[in-house]
Structure 1
Amino acid sequence: MGIATAYWMLGYRGKGKSLIEGIFVAPLILPPTVVGFLLLLLFGKNGPVGKLMEPFDFTIVFTWYGAAIAAIIVSFPLMYKTALGAFEQIDANLLRVGRTLGAKESTIFWRISLPLALPGILAGTVLAFARALGEFGATLMLAGNIPGQTQTIPMAIYFAVEAGAMNEAWFWAIAIMSISLSGIILVNFGQEFKQNKRHTPKETKATKNLESASQFFPLPTNTTSGLIVDIEKRLGNFLLRVAFHSDDQPLGLLGGSGAGKSLILRCIAGIETPTKGRIILNGKVLFDSEKGINLPSRERKIGFLVQNYALFPHLTVAQNIAFGLPKGLSKGSVRVQIEQQLLAVQLQGLGDRYPHQLSGGQQQRVALARALASQPEALLLDEPFSALDTHLRSQLEQQMTETLADYPGVTLFVTHNMEEAYRLCPNLLVLENGTEAHYGSKYEIFQHPATKNVAQITGCKNFSRAEITSPQIVKAIDWDCQLQVIEPMPDELSHIGIRAHQLIFTQDAEKANTFPCWLVRTSETPHRMTVFLKLHFPAQNPQDYHLQAEVYKEKWVTIKDQPFPWYVHLEPIRLMLMK
């Protein structure tokens, strides 16, 4: 009862939740005699339940049924609260991923929620049992003290002491302490044994080069016709409003934190419900607010790879991959598919390991193999490299590139790293505060960003307010200079910009768009120098600069000792005009 009620309350979003919670916990707060009195009113001869049972010549009061009911009511809050706490500790991403893999709610409960909450539930069971074992007041009120019929151990101790039979009282006291302590010790021993067993590494025949680049196993899927998303989603003061289409070429969702990138993926996967709009995948309507369609996650055929990979910690690598396989396969087919997946991701021999026995890169590959094993029509990748170090990130990015090249479905790749997005995705959707800032090919967005904010998100560091002075001349207000431009003038020019690596140092001071400059300060990376420059005259302080230039250290060696002023050239073809 406590487990079922806790699981129900975990997902309950209706009214009166606080009141319901108070009723469930009340027996833990009220004196047991008060609980017994209320039970007596309920089950007594004149009580509502008592009257219902009267025609059947059946009674609860002063029977062993009453003792059992009193014990259940008094111990129920402990079981309920402990189970609820155990369920609340489960990572919600595990349940979300389970649904995207096609699992029903009953499957998720039995295979994910219950096993992961089991240690807490066992602890709650012991506490509830100990509380029931020691219950006195409610039992005495409802069931009485009939030796051999309703007498419990606590009442036997009480009446033995009253009668002066101390030896009998000692006997029952030792018995109840032995039972309670034995239960607690056995549960703790079992949990400790299981933990030690899980943390013992297993020897395998796996190769040492587990992080080397490899070709993922391509899984067959239906021919795709693309993903259409046109939704609005309001969360408090935040409004997500996007409309885009994606085909079999990976689409990168690029933007800062809080731009709405991950929220889009959750809406597509069915984890979040849009306020209005529609989502269509390969002609199948996943969501349509006007038609009242909202398919559950398990029916959407979506592969979802979240940031922490959400591998089921109580299942082995092989069992994790098998979780995503289509239902109804024979054991032999499941075994073959698992071996194919392990071979493809260079994890052969590691099928019996648990997620905590794998490195971050190995976990990421298992999660991707599990997602692809479900044969999804769309693959959603939510910053899959964010938890990896630089070297491993590069290797797995190469693997991901090969995988996406062979995967025929729709792919959405969320990142805030512009270089990742550029390398992996031919097309980009740049988001800003929940809305589309620029949507197109990566070349268009990086070469001709629509706004200053898009340029900043894509890595541009040099901006100036701008105004048109003639058809091919723009005044850069903040740089205090006139610039020749080639790019067509936008209707409402706001800013002009140039990327730091596109500035050119020159000796030809007469060339167009060439200006004297002075070095303000530098910032060093392993391979490059970032040089902060002040145009026209020397700087007054370290923050007084106009432009940042990035130069390789080989080039820096040739210019760093030259006398000032230096001359910097801003190529007209490199200048970006933005609204």
Structure 2
Amino acid sequence: MPYSDLSPLWISLKTAFVATIFAFLVGIAAARWMYGYRGKAKGLIDGFFTLPLVLPPTVIGFLLLLLLGRNSPVGQLLKQLGITIIFSWSATVIAATVVAFPLMYKTVLSAFKQIDKDLIHCARTLGASEWRIFWQILLPLALPGVVSGTILAFARALGEFGATLMLAGSIPGKTQTMPIAIFFAAEAGKMGEALNWVLLMVAIALLVIATINYWSGTQHSAKWHAIAHWFSWLPPFEGGREGDLKRGTRGRYKRTDYRGIRYGNKGLFVNLKKQLPGFTLDAQLEANGQPLGLLGTSGSGKSMTLRCIAGLDSPNQGRIVLNGRVLFDSQRGINIPSRQRRIGFVFQNYALFPHLTIVQNIAFGLQNLPKLERRQRISKYMEMMQLQGLENRYPEQISGGQQQRVALARALVIHPEALLLDEPLSALDTYLRSRIERLLSETLSTYEGVTLFVTHKLEEAYRICQNLLILSQGNVIANDTKETIFERPPSFEVAQVTECKNFSTARMIEPQTIEALDWGCTLQVVEPIPNKLTYVGIRAHHFTFPQHPDGENTFPCWLVMTSETQHRTTLYIKLHQPPGHAQDYHLQVEVYKEKWANLKDRPFPWYVRLDPLRLILMEQ
């Protein structure tokens, strides 16, 4: 076969290569923009970008012809500049680029969307600009999608026919690509020649498919880590210092200078409101050097409060001040970007960057420090968190407890003014949780900033924090020292959140006497009775079992059933008379195994005492 006969191959390869470069650059740029775009026209713009993927190529070619033809405004302008596009190799490239672009755009956008959003949020709290997040987080983590999109775009550009024929024609040696050569060879009855081109196209297509499958199978291998790791050395394209974002009259944000907005008070002061599905988060809190624990059931607003403080979400109204710096003020239009708030955030899933080593994860927020100071800080916190020897491992190569320590070191190494911990121990098993909790307590004892610790486990909050704030459906229902909240919860709901298990509706009989209606008994109390007394409660470990019924608040009881753990036995008991069935009980009592061993052989009825000092009197 003469060399000239191969011109469709070289034209196709050259065209596909150049078109792929254009589709690569424009597709990634469009995907990045659409990933962060939140405007109302998002669906319309996405549809426009995707249109060449669903329209017949001849329609695309016809539209390009109308746009670039000699009689169009663009064509007239090009003619004045002495530029000819129609029926040229440039037209071949344009047609191939337009039809290949949607594959690149959609594949990369899908890859971006699959990235854990907490990784992006974490990078922002560590001071990274949006450009740096794109280059060092988004792009390397989306690398498999970028490669797949590039290969698919190349294959689509190589096989383009209809749009190319409409815009560039079939000029042998100039615009005649392989698909066009197949069409005209078949039309002329040269079936053998057409078959040769078809087999060549099939071979290239199989090669493309094999390449995609190979890349998909190695995206978590050492090779992928090595390629993704290279992105950490790319220049971050950091811009100059950005001012705050100021809300305008139409809800948009404008840049403004916040440096003069500072007050003298130390600590964190929060008063915010944010509309959430089903309720409005209305959080007010103050915190200083003592860790503050945020307790509440799932969906009560704990994590959203932290996210608003860190700048990852914006309240609808309110004010947030940290050490005299106004971070958010809805009335004055101040909303400092997350990367400028100097707040360390430890996420529930740790949000470690999977393509960076342990030392690179910890160093991520130290980009602007001199190298010597950076190394000193990293070494200090690696040692503090007992991570020596793990410097060059990746997050997937270390245990959950080690990952948690890396996340804590990364948040502390930037010397934040506030440290926000969102359920940091929830993903660990019991043994690791105990070890990390001790390490966390030691670390916080020397940390001089503000600490907020979100958890749904009372015992964790009680051991780590001096003060507790309890949220329910977005509202603060208690805010006091842990001893006060635990011993004297102000309401039934607070008592439930603090894991009180025994409640009865109640009414006052005399100033020091109440009736527990559900328990069927009269109780002497010591604490003043609330004006709107509704419930009486007692914690499961505050019962005693005297030998005789002579003391106050002492009643006969019968055992209904038991439930055991390795250290304690839970007793379900009924007062006054034997139970009728397995669910017929009044009180839930927890005793250590040693006490249970001495108690279980006593004849019934037993006697149980409800200590007047331990009774909790509550309003609704």
SS in 2 for 1:324: helix
Q: Judge conservation of contact 1:3–1:79 (CA < 8 Å) in 2.
A: yes
C-alpha distance in structure 1 between counterparts of 2:204 and 2:556, whole Å: 89
Give the 3 Å change call, closer, same or farther, for CA 301–51 of structure 1 in structure 2: same
Question: Partner of 2:86 in structure 1?
Answer: 61
1:363 aligns with 2:363: no
SS in 2 for 1:340: helix
Which of the residues 96, 112, 116 maps onto 1:71?
96
C-alpha distance in structure 2 between counterparts of 1:497 and 1:431, whole Å: 20
C-alpha distance in structure 2 between counterparts of 1:403 and 1:472, whole Å: 46
Deviation at 1:171, TM superposition (A): 5.1
SS in 2 for 1:129: helix
Question: Partner of 1:236 in structure 2?
Answer: 277
C-alpha distance in structure 1 between counterparts of 2:197 and 2:219, whole Å: 33
TM-score (norm 2): 0.87
Which of the residues 136, 151, 164 maps onto 1:111?
136
Which of the residues 322, 328, 331 maps onto 1:287?
328
Letter in 2 for 1:246: A
Question: Partner of 2:127 in structure 1?
Answer: 102
C-alpha distance in structure 2 between counterparts of 1:369 and 1:551, whole Å: 39
1:391-410 → structure 2 map (5 Å cutoff): 391-410=431-450
- Using the aligned pairs only, state the percent identity: 59
Which of the residues 593, 603, 606 maps onto 1:563?
603
Give the 3 Å change call, closer, same or farther, for CA 199–60 of structure 1 in structure 2: closer
Question: Partner of 2:55 in structure 1?
Answer: 30
TM-score (norm 1): 0.93
Letter in 1 for 2:316: T
Question: Partner of 1:537 in structure 2?
Answer: 577
1:113-152 → structure 2 map (5 Å cutoff): 113-152=138-177
C-alpha distance in structure 1 between counterparts of 2:217 and 2:586, whole Å: 63
SS in 2 for 1:85: helix
C-alpha distance in structure 2 between counterparts of 1:175 and 1:11, whole Å: 41
Letter in 1 for 2:351: A
C-alpha distance in structure 2 between counterparts of 1:182 and 1:505, whole Å: 80
CA offsets 1:41-69 (integer angstroms, 9 cap, x no match): 11111223213323223232111111111
Question: Partner of 2:534 in structure 1?
Answer: 494
Deviation at 1:224, TM superposition (A): 8.5
SS in 1 for 2:376: helix
Question: Partner of 2:314 in structure 1?
Answer: 273
Is 11-20 or 165-174 further displaced after alignment? 165-174
C-alpha distance in structure 1 between counterparts of 2:199 and 2:493, whole Å: 74
Give the 3 Å change call, closer, same or farther, for CA 199–22 of structure 1 in structure 2: closer
Give the 3 Å change call, closer, same or farther, for CA 293–241 of structure 1 in structure 2: same
Deviation at 1:185, TM superposition (A): 3.9
SS in 1 for 2:441: helix
C-alpha distance in structure 2 between counterparts of 1:142 and 1:191, whole Å: 35
C-alpha distance in structure 1 between counterparts of 2:221 and 2:277, whole Å: 45
C-alpha distance in structure 2 between counterparts of 1:441 and 1:152, whole Å: 78
1:169-180 → structure 2 map (5 Å cutoff): 169=194, 172-180=197-205
Question: Partner of 1:347 in structure 2?
Answer: 387
Deviation at 1:490, TM superposition (A): 1.7
Q: Judge conservation of contact 1:311–1:355 (CA < 8 Å) in 2.
A: yes
Question: Partner of 2:233 in structure 1?
Answer: none
Question: Partner of 1:322 in structure 2?
Answer: 363
Question: Partner of 1:48 in structure 2?
Answer: 73
Q: Judge conservation of contact 1:199–1:357 (CA < 8 Å) in 2.
A: no
Deviation at 1:468, TM superposition (A): 1.1
C-alpha distance in structure 1 between counterparts of 2:614 and 2:93, whole Å: 83
1:427-576 → structure 2 map (5 Å cutoff): 427-576=467-616
C-alpha distance in structure 1 between counterparts of 2:267 and 2:123, whole Å: 24
Q: Judge conservation of contact 2:275–2:281 (CA < 8 Å) in 1.
A: yes
CA offsets 1:15-51 (integer angstroms, 9 cap, x no match): 2222222211111111111111111111111223213
Which of the residues 109, 132, 153 maps onto 2:178?
153
Letter in 2 for 1:289: S
Give the 3 Å change call, closer, same or farther, for CA 190–536 of structure 1 in structure 2: closer
Q: Which runs of 5+ in 1 are unaligned?
A: 201-222
Q: Judge conservation of contact 2:570–2:589 (CA < 8 Å) in 1.
A: yes
Question: Partner of 1:206 in structure 2?
Answer: none
Deviation at 1:154, TM superposition (A): 1.6
C-alpha distance in structure 2 between counterparts of 1:24 and 1:407, whole Å: 50
C-alpha distance in structure 2 between counterparts of 1:189 and 1:465, whole Å: 67
Deviation at 1:172, TM superposition (A): 4.0
C-alpha distance in structure 2 between counterparts of 1:249 and 1:112, whole Å: 34
C-alpha distance in structure 1 between counterparts of 2:333 and 2:509, whole Å: 54
Q: Judge conservation of contact 2:152–2:208 (CA < 8 Å) in 1.
A: no
Deviation at 1:401, TM superposition (A): 0.3
Letter in 1 for 2:569: M
C-alpha distance in structure 1 between counterparts of 2:204 and 2:583, whole Å: 74
Letter in 2 for 1:125: T
Which of the residues 256, 278, 297 maps onto 1:256?
297
Deviation at 1:177, TM superposition (A): 4.2
CA offsets 1:484-539 (integer angstroms, 9 cap, x no match): 11112222111111111001100231211111111111111111111111111111
Q: Which runs of 5+ in 2 are unaligned?
A: 1-25, 226-263
What RMSD, in angstroms, separates the aligned Cα atoms of the two structures?
1.8
Runs of 4+ in 1 over 6 A off after TM superposition: none
Q: Judge conservation of contact 2:144–2:215 (CA < 8 Å) in 1.
A: no
Deviation at 1:186, TM superposition (A): 4.5
Q: Judge conservation of contact 1:198–1:354 (CA < 8 Å) in 2.
A: no
Q: Judge conservation of contact 2:50–2:102 (CA < 8 Å) in 1.
A: yes
